[in-house]
Amino acid sequence: MKTIGILGGMGPLATAHLFERIVLNTNAEKDQDHIHVLIDSNTNIPDRTKAILNGVEDPLKEMVISAKHLESCGADFLIMPCNTAHFFIDKILSNISIPMINMVDETVNYTYDKYGKDAIVGILATDGTIKSKIYENSFSKRGIKTIVPNKTQTKVMSFIYDVIKSSKIEVGPSLLLEAAEELKEMGATSILLGCTELSSADFIFKFKGNFINPIEVLAHKSIIFAGGQVK
């Protein structure tokens, strides 16, 4: 099977959860049936949202360092558990000779297959992801309507940075669920957890309803691309 390289550290918990989901979703009876996975949890990568919004501390240099490192260590393809970082994916790929699975596009494909083109997707994500319209543009190509929070975006950011990234899980998911409720009231038929910290929160708090988890989508796609079988 092919070797997976995880370009991680954005953040560390999301990186750990992606590896866990690959292991738990691989159809394997013994260690040797699992996929070889290389992980570079590079916490030196600057904040992607700040780079997109303010043009400071470009994260590309560190992401390229990690990508090249994983390639040199034998990774056959890369995956990146950070939605906002996909703003830079083309520039990363221009510096390496192995492919990278695009989590954003695969999540959009999954949504289209599961909910159809008439779905209305509410996007919960960082300010950087929303401003760059990474998901909106990809969904638009499939004819899927998207909406973003109007009054509760600051609560989404607070949940991402002050709860999950700060490892204050005991605070609970109320801030995020308020934002999800606003999107439902605006007409959303499904809710995209468009930040990998939100994917991690889903694994921790086990959200109920039509939530779309990109890390779960990426884990499944990675297993198949590597030549494994999904449970």
Catalytic residues: 82, 195
Residue the block writes with tokens 């990426």: 218
Q: How far is Cα 6 from Cα 125, in angstroms, rounded to an integer?
A: 21
* Alpha carbon distance 78, 39 (integer Å): 10
3-state secondary structure of 178: helix
Q: What is the residue whose two structure tokens read 């939100």?
A: 198
Q: For strands 37-41 and 120-124, give the pairing.
A: unpaired
Q: What are the start-end ranges of the E strands in the chain?
A: 4-8, 37-41, 77-79, 120-124, 145-147, 190-193, 211-212
Burial class (CB in 10 A: 0-12, 13-18, 19+), 145: middle
Q: 3-class DSSP state for residue 134?
A: helix
Q: Contact at 8 Å (CB) between 19 and 217?
A: no
Distance CA 169, CA 16 (A): 16
